[in-house]
Amino acid sequence: MRILFVSPFDFGYQGGVNEHITQLDHQFRAMGHQTRIIAPTSPDTGETDDGHVYRVGMAIPVPSNESMARVTFSPTVTWKVRQFMRGETFDVVHLHEPLTPILCSAVLLYSDVANVGTFHAARPSNVMYMYLKPVLDLFFDKLDARVAVSEAAREFVDSYFPSEYEIIPNGISLDRFHGQADPLPQFMDGRPNILFVGRFNEPRKGFRYLIRAMPMIRSQFPDARLIVVGQGATDRYEHFLHQHGIDDVVFAGFVSADELPRYYASCDVFVAPSTGRESFGLILLEAMASGKPVIASSIAGYSAVVRDGLDGVLVEPKNPQALALAIVRVLADVPLRERLTTSAREHVKQFSWAVVAERLIEVYQRAIVSRATDAIRQPWPAEIVGRRG
């Protein structure tokens, strides 16, 4: 197949959606399919087309879901997409967050092949969906198949655009996260290591609750160390840490994709205390595949990944006491850790990119048939009917 992946987000920033597309693209190419990617670009990169990735439309940051989304509103995008679509031939166009302006809208406007949309987000509400629904309905109706990455994502989008959605989760690269990475020597001193991965300044990541749990954890494990992977300003947390005598929180900052498995290998427990607005727990899969016990909030997006008591431990969100108790329990109980990690490593196999890609191929094939069937059922234009008579 010839497949076009569409991202509405600046492809210079590897957030969850772009990472999803990158991994799918790699998997489909390995399976022998031909792929292209179209996405907005960063001002410092400029518009480029290397024959594989077409970066078009300068992206700007806009607030979205307690984070920042980098999308394009460039007035020239629609014309450039029109030229691009006329010069290429695809069997399937796979749009991610297909109702996000304006790149996806432009592609849907000019696509005349099967369109598949994957919805990633889960949040309490969406102002754009609410106020622009009459317009968005026109683009939504151009989708021949609809996918959600989790039940939480499905429920969210279905509340605005009722339809049939197939749930196909995010994938995990089992070649990268396999539990055999070398631990980082600076953390191999016998102390219990607790790992957090994410943009810790974003309120929805719940990092502040993990910080508040640390004094309780240290009362049972005085030498426990917290390792934080991700970018953000640390100022807001330093006073609290100093006040409670917690002097061993390691803010590692940005960590490359190649180095990240070594951080998982270095920890004794992985913690994801998000408060909500997470449609899926990719970081949970990474930790589980790395053979590490997971403690996470019992939000819908995480419950779709972790089976409480089998693959990890789920706790009430926004509850530092419950979080601390769970961490202490898992650190203290070696047989429990072994049981959780053994089950998790088996469970995570169903999330491999190879499995996800095969399921998507089935969706693509159905979308192609649906598009062809709809074309056959279209009534003949009046002028053609007249000539046939």
Q: Is the dihedral of CA 169, 175, 330, 274 positive or negative?
A: negative
pLDDT of residue 387: 46
Residue 152 DSSP SS3: helix
Residue 177 within any structural domain of the chain = no
pLDDT (mean) for 269-296: 94
- Regarding whether 276 and 203 lie in a shared domain, the answer is yes
- Regarding whether 240 and 164 lie in a shared domain, the answer is no
Helices (H), the chain: 16-30, 77-87, 103-110, 127-131, 133-140, 151-158, 207-220, 235-243, 260-266, 282-289, 300-303, 320-332, 334-347, 353-377, 382-388
What mean pLDDT, rounded, does the chain reach?
Answer: 93
Instruction: Give the domain extent around 35.
Output: 2-171+352-383
pLDDT of residue 377: 63
First-last CA distance in the chain: 39
* pLDDT(334) > 50: yes
- Regarding whether 208 and 163 lie in a shared domain, the answer is no
- Regarding whether 77 and 7 lie in a shared domain, the answer is yes
Tokens at residue 175, please? 């070649």
* pLDDT(330) > 50: yes
> DSSP states of 318-349 as a string?
T-HHHHHHHHHHHHH-HHHHHHHHHHHHHHGG
CATH of the domain at 345: 3.40.50.2000
Residue 29 within any structural domain of the chain = yes
Beta-strand pair 48-49/145-148: unpaired
Residue 179 within any structural domain of the chain = no
* pTM for this predicted structure: 0.85
* pLDDT(353) > 50: yes
Q: What is the pLDDT of residues 66-94, one digit of tens each?
A: 677 889 999 999 999 999 999 999 999 99
* pLDDT(383) > 60: no
* pLDDT(389) > 70: no
- Regarding whether 9 and 132 lie in a shared domain, the answer is yes
pLDDT of residue 246: 85
pLDDT of residue 385: 44
Res. 131 pLDDT band, cuts 50 70 90: confident
Q: Of 30-34, 62-66, 120-124, 252-256, which one has max mean pLDDT?
A: 30-34
Residue type, 179: G
The burial class, CB within 10 Å (0-12 / 13-18 / 19+), for 383 is exposed
- Regarding whether 376 and 331 lie in a shared domain, the answer is no
Domain count, the chain: 2
Q: What is the pLDDT of residues 162-218, one digit of tens each?
A: 999 999 999 999 999 999 999 999 999 999 999 999 989 888 999 999 999 999 999
Residue 178 within any structural domain of the chain = no
Q: What is the pLDDT of residues 295-309, one digit of tens each?
A: 999 998 899 899 999
Per the rule left: phi > 0, alpha: psi between -120 and 50, beta: everything else, 134 is alpha
Listed in sequence order, the residues at least 6 apart from 119 whose beta carbon sits closer than 8 Å to its beta carbon are 97, 98, 146, 147, 148, 149, 153, 154, 156, 157, 165
Out of 14-18, 221-225, 348-352, least confident range: 14-18
